[in-house]
Amino acid sequence: MTKVGFVRHGVTRWNKEGRAQGSSDIPLDEEGLEQACSLAAWMEIDDWDVVYASDLLRAEQTAEVLNEKLGKQLHLDSRLREVGGGLIEGTTEEERVQTWGPDWRELDMLFEPQDSIIARGISFMEEIIDKHHDQNVLVVSHGSFIKHLLNVLIPGSDMNESLKNTSLTSLVKCEHGWDCHLYNCTEHLIKGDSLKMY
């Protein structure tokens, strides 16, 4: 049985300012590093065999904090990057309205196409299944990318809730596809390291 755990990176200054990050390379802020430390303290070392992360700094930093405890192989993979935000990266909603008007969503903002997002996500997952059959794989990535991928891996699941920073979502490969065993879990931010993951 193969298990894949998806972690959204810790919080950044742009998150707090409401700025679209996309493929911009923004570091974690102090709270984001603390969130990653809380998640690391909550995790069990034996639950994970290998760690993958987006090569964007905020995900890489989160993965490095987790891996300080887990002590596994850490692989950076550009396929795990956030959905490209095109022209809106670095802007707030207020700035977008000022620049392009209230109907800016109807304009071509040069977002990454849906088929590109899914293609790189599925390519990654197929490689994981091939390389890490019957292992537990931890993946540190980005909110929008993870949500796109989840809705393809588990059709009809309607997992549209915004993923919280350092949330953990866990999928298990089964005969008919994937089952979700844990979704958008942030108990580590509420109760510290007193709980085991399952």
Pick the catalytic residue: 82, 89, 112, 142?
Answer: 82
Task: Please count the residues of the chain.
Answer: 198
Pick the catalytic residue: 9, 60, 89, 188?
Answer: 9
CB 124 within 8 A of CB 77: yes
CB within 8 A of 105, min separation 6: which ones?
A: none
Q: Is 79 annotated as a binding residue?
A: no
Which string of DSSP letters, residue by residue, matches 71-99?
A: --EEEE-GGGPPPP-GGGTT--HHHHHHH
Q: Is 15 annotated as a binding residue?
A: yes
Q: Is 11 annotated as a binding residue?
A: yes
Angle between helices 57-70 and 30-42 (to 10 degrees): 30
Q: Is 151 annotated as a binding residue?
A: no
Q: Is 8 annotated as a binding residue?
A: yes
Q: Is 58 annotated as a binding residue?
A: yes
Nearest of 132, 136, 133, 128 to residue 44 by alpha carbon: 136
Q: Is 142 annotated as a binding residue?
A: no
CB within 8 A of 18, min separation 6: which ones?
A: 92, 93
Q: Is 96 annotated as a binding residue?
A: no
171's enclosing H/E stretch is: strand 168-174
Task: Reply yes or no on whether 82 is catalytic.
Answer: yes
CA distance 156 to 134: 26
Q: Is 105 annotated as a binding residue?
A: no
Task: Reply yes or no on whether 188 is catalytic.
Answer: no
Catalytic residues: 9, 82
Binding residues for substrate: 8-15, 58
- Residues that constitute the known binding site: 8-15, 58
